[in-house]
C-alpha cells in the first residue's frame, strides 16, 4: 500500500467520514486534515471541530461556501431548468464546489492525496473525482470504500464502536442522508424496497407531509431578473436567504417531497426520497415565467438543452467545456426572463395564481376569443393548406395508384 505524508479528507462528521480518520492513520500513518464544506447543512456542523480532532485529525477547516454554491451552481442549473428524471440535482451540484475547495486546501497544506467517503456504488465518487481531476489531475485520490474490508453500514458502526467514535445515529435510524441548503436526501433501510411506502412522518426534516399541511393556502410572489429570483413578496433577498425562506414556506405546506427510483450513473437503479421545498417552488415559478417570456422555438430547443445540462450535472461533468457552453446559451435565453410570478401553496400542490413580465410575448388582443382586428381568421385556411400539403400529396398519389391508405 502506497504511503502518504498528509491527506486532505472531505469531512462531514457522518458515519463514513467519522471512521475514515482513524482508518487513514492506521493504514497510512499519515496526518489527516479534515475539510468540512458548509453548503447549508445547518446544525450538522455543530461540534465538528471537537469531533474531528478527537478522532485523530490534525486540524479541521470549515469553509463557508453558501454564497458561491448558490450563485455559481444553483442559479445556473435553475436557469437551465435542468432536472434529472424529476430530481432537482441537490446532491449533484454540491459536489463540484466541494471538490474545488478540497484541491485548493490540498495545495495550501502540501498534501499528497485527497480522500472521500463515497461508496463504490454511488454517483458521488464520480462527481468528487472528476472535480478533483479538473483542478489537479496529479493528486492521488483515496476512496476507502473501494479498498477496505468494511462491507456495510453495520460494519461501519461496529468499527466506530470499537474505536470509541461517537455517532448521532443508531442501527435503526441509519438512513443514508445528504443535506445542504437546497435539499435533503434519504436512502437505505426500508426505502431500499420500492414496494414500501416511505414513512414520511418519521423521515421528513425540512417540512411535513401534505396531509399535515395547513388547511389554508399560502400565497407567494417571486420576482425574477434575467432568470434569477431576487425578491420574495416584494422584499429583496440574496440567494441564500431566498432559498432558506422558501424552504420554510414550502416545508410547512408539504411542498417538494419526491420519491423516485432513479438510474444511477454507475448503471444500477436506486430508490430515494428527496426533500426540496424551496427549490421546487423556484423551479415551478421559473418555468411559469418562461412561458410568457420565451418564444416557441427557443422554448422547445431549450428543453433539449435542459435535459443535456441535467445529465452533465448529474454525471459530475460541471468543469467541462460543454457545461460552460450550455450555460452561455442559457444566459442568452434568460435576458428577457424578468417578471413576477404569484403562486398558491396548498397541501403539497403549487397552483399558478398569476404571472406578469415587461417582456411578455403574450398578446391578449391576438389570443382573445373575442372580436379583434389583429388576427384575420381567414388566413388560417391558406396556412393549413400549405402545412398539410405533404399529407394531401401523399394521399392523392396513393389514391391515383390504387394503394390502400392505412395508418
Taking the C-alpha atoms of residue 379 and residue 399, their distance in angstroms, rounded to an integer, is 29
Evaluated on CA atoms 11, 140, 100, 127, the torsion sign reads negative
The reply to whether 262 sits in an annotated binding site is: yes
At 250, list the grid cell: 414550502
| 209 flagged as catalytic | no
The reply to whether 117 sits in an annotated binding site is: yes
Taking the C-alpha atoms of residue 128 and residue 101, their distance in angstroms, rounded to an integer, is 11
| 124 flagged as catalytic | yes
The reply to whether 11 sits in an annotated binding site is: yes
Q: Residue 221: what are its φ and ψ, rounded to 5°?
A: -120, 120
Taking the C-alpha atoms of residue 125 and residue 122, their distance in angstroms, rounded to an integer, is 6
The reply to whether 197 sits in an annotated binding site is: no
From the candidates 101, 112, 153, 176, give the one annotated as an active-site residue.
176
Buried b (16+ CB within 10 A) or exposed e, 60-79: bbebebbeebbebbbbbbbb
Q: What is the 3-state secondary structure (H, E, C) of 4-63?
A: CCEEEEECCCCHHHHHHHHHHHHHHCCEEEEEEEECCCHHHHCCHHHHHHHCCCCEEEEE
The reply to whether 185 sits in an annotated binding site is: yes
Taking the C-alpha atoms of residue 206 and residue 186, their distance in angstroms, rounded to an integer, is 12
| 223 Cα distance to chain centroid | 21
The reply to whether 37 sits in an annotated binding site is: yes
- The three-class DSSP label of residue 64 is strand
The reply to whether 18 sits in an annotated binding site is: yes
From the candidates 101, 124, 153, 306, give the one annotated as an active-site residue.
124
The reply to whether 374 sits in an annotated binding site is: no
Beta strand segments in 255-357, E:
257-263, 269-275, 339-346, 349-356
The reply to whether 219 sits in an annotated binding site is: no
Beta strand segments in 199-256, E:
218-225, 228-232, 235-236
The reply to whether 123 sits in an annotated binding site is: yes
The reply to whether 12 sits in an annotated binding site is: yes
Residues in Cβ contact with 233 at an 8 Å cutoff, skipping those fewer than 6 apart: 220, 221
From the candidates 95, 101, 153, 271, give the one annotated as an active-site residue.
95
The reply to whether 159 sits in an annotated binding site is: no
Taking the C-alpha atoms of residue 235 and residue 230, their distance in angstroms, rounded to an integer, is 8
Q: Which residues pair with 340 in a beta bridge?
A: 223, 356
Q: What is the 3-state secondary structure (H, E, C) of 329-391?
A: HHHHHHHHCCEEEEEEEECCEEEEEEEECCCCCCCHHHHCCCCCCCCCCCHHHHHHHHHCHHH
The reply to whether 152 sits in an annotated binding site is: no
The reply to whether 119 sits in an annotated binding site is: yes
Parallel, antiparallel or unpaired: strands 59-64 and 31-38 = parallel
The reply to whether 298 sits in an annotated binding site is: no
Annotated binding-site members for L-citrulline = 87, 92, 123, 127, 176, 185, 262, 274
The catalytic site residues sit at: 16, 95, 124, 176
Annotated binding-site members = 10-18, 37, 87, 92, 117, 119, 123-124, 127, 176, 185, 262, 274
Annotated binding-site members for ATP = 10-18, 37, 117
Amino acid at each position: 500500500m502506497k504511503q502518504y505524508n498528509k491527506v486532505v479528507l472531505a469531512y462531514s462528521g457522518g458515519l463514513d467520514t467519522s471512521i475514515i480518520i482513524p482508518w487513514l492513520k492506521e493504514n497510512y500513518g499519515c496526518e489527516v486534515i479534515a475539510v468540512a464544506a458548509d453548503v447549508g447543512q445547518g446544525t450538522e456542523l455543530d461540534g465538528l471541530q471537537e469531533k474531528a480532532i478527537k478522532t485523530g485529525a490534525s486540524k479541521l477547516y470549515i469553509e463557508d461556501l453558501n454564497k458561491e454554491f448558490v450563485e455559481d451552481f444553483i442559479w445556473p442549473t435553475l436557469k437551465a431548468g435542468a432536472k434529472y428524471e424529476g430530481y432537482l440535482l441537490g446532491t449533484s451540484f454540491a459536489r463540484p464546489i466541494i471538490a474545488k475547495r478540497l484541491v485548493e486546501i490540498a495545495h495550501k497544506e502540501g498534501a499528497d492525496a485527497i480522500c472521500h467517503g463515497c461508496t463504490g456504488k454511488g454517483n458521488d465518487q464520480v462527481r468528487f473525482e472528476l472535480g478533483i481531476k479538473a483542478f489537479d489531475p496529479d493528486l492521488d485520490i483515496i476512496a476507502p470504500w473501494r479498498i477496505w474490508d468494511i462491507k456495510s453500514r453495520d460494519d461501519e458502526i461496529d468499527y466506530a464502536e470499537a474505536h470509541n467514535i461517537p455517532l448521532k445515529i443508531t442501527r435503526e435510524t441509519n438512513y443514508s442522508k445528504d443535506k445542504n441548503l437546497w435539499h435533503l436526501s434519504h436512502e437505505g433501510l426500508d426505502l431500499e424496497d420500492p414496494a414500501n411506502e416511505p414513512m414520511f412522518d418519521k423521515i421528513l426534516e425540512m417540512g411535513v407531509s401534505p396531509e399535515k399541511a395547513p388547511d389554508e393556502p399560502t400565497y407567494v410572489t417571486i420576482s425574477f431578473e434575467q432568470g434569477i429570483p431576487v425578491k420574495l413578496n416584494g422584499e429583496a433577498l440574496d440567494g441564500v436567504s431566498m432559498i432558506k425562506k422558501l424552504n420554510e414556506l414550502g416545508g410547512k405546506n408539504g411542498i417538494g417531497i419526491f420519491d423516485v427510483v432513479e438510474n444511477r450513473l454507475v448503471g444500477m437503479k436506486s430508490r430515494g426520497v428527496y426533500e426540496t421545498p424551496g427549490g421546487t417552488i423556484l423551479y415551478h415559478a421559473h418555468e411559469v415565467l418562461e412561458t410568457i417570456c420565451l418564444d416557441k422555438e427557443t422554448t422547445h430547443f431549450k428543453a433539449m438543452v435542459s435535459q443535456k445540462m441535467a445529465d452533465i450535472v448529474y454525471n459530475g461533468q460541471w468543469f467541462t467545456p460543454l457545461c460552460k457552453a450550455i450555460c452561455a446559451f442559457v444566459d442568452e435565453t434568460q435576458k428577457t426572463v424578468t417578471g413576477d410570478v404569484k403562486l398558491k401553496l396548498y397541501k403539497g400542490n403549487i397552483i399558478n395564481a398569476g404571472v406578469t413580465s415587461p417582456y411578455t410575448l403574450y398578446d391578449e388582443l391576438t389570443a382573445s376569443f373575442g372580436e379583434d382586428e389583429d388576427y384575420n381568421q381567414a388566413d388560417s385556411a391558406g396556412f393549413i393548406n400549405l402545412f398539410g400539403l405533404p399529407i394531401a400529396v401523399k394521399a392523392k398519389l396513393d389514391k391515383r395508384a390504387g394503394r390502400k391508405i392505412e395508418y
